[in-house]
Chains A and B, each alone.
Chain A
């Protein structure tokens, strides 16, 4: 049941296939297209129910400028960066350390510890909502950047450890034996041998964690009620007034929010190098 190649000679099949792909792609992108289109409409379009039709005018610059001048989105944006970047770094550092130890050192309880890291991922956030909120209050960090950073790092590290452990375990044993027989300490081995070789994994993990944390809405609502620390996802909700909603503005803000994860992807892309361990072992 592999996806087989469509023969070049079978013209009918070829065009049917192309049509099907186009259709699926259009369905997939339609909501995004509508949001993009709405983000350039004048506010009046949404009010009269022109959601899908041609915009009555183009207010691209006006809408996007207003997002940052008429609303606190700029502040939320800043908050999001302050929360996301340290969280991602924390996740990468911790999961590299845990993954390295769990994959390379045999000790009593190794498997149990690893199982706990994985098992933690299966706990639904919802059941932790109240305890985590209470915990942050008693720690005195409720409604602060630190609350979100700490809990994002904690929740992401479980999966990230699984990811890094398996990646580091796949490196050839001989490299570690060679480093050890040359007198490199475990930390030196980590810094000079492991990290350069797991760069693609770190890049992939950075994108995953960044997107996840950036897009988080749940913890943002639970832990940061104040505008001063609220990230973009929760902030977006604030743009809706009690009685009116400027949908053009909300759409423009939505598009603006989606940009950083995309930028992140392109930044990290150059680290996806295939065959990084080529030449390490065998001929």
Chain B
């Protein structure tokens, strides 16, 4: 188990290095080839030659690619110093550089916004698991019934309706018309109950989308599992049907759902852009949307790395949980 864990952690480290390399290529080489000068983007087009030159020096844009790469890595793991124009700016590790627009350090922006996105994703995940699993199981057990058809129609709607539609609709109805919940985001640190009230609609909106997918997956998996021989054995033992379903069938149904959950939560760390924008939640998604609009390369780069890391780590956790659920994949 321990050797497996070490091996996996090593693989994660290699993976992250590869991701950083790829990100570096995309954000440093492509601007070079397309002729967009990061220095111009940093200072603005109206700036004079000297300040552009100063920035070029400071960002070491004229150095060989390998030197730039080395500095980039060094910045992430140990921090780096930007020297130029007569002063030195220290950017402590992990250093992703400075925003082209706000000229703020990227890392604090990320750490500010990550918890918001995390709370959005995890809260929604709890709701969509509860809804998706129960609807899926019920649909499987009542296959072909009116309930099944209604639930699956609802699931189809959930999958196909965009978040900005369901989100805005729920905002209009529950926040503005009936005033049941808050219509805007309040930071957790400011007021917990207001934060909760403001998060309910985003959670439900996001959960509606994902819950629909989970309901469909649960239903399909459950139907498959119910046809397994060991379910017949469980009944042949004289077990009550709730035990047969809740214990024997659910255990097997959980495996594919867990896999999907790991990928989904990891991917949501990159920001639920639509949900965050719809509900004005200051998470990573909103930040990255703004960054894309403003061609703020360092910020995009930071969010990309965070997302990739989250997916890799979520997958590692899922794989470890897999071993707990399914003894056949338990590795030594």
Tell me whether A and B are bound partners: no
Binding site for A on B (CB under 8 A): none
Binding site for B on A (CB under 8 A): none
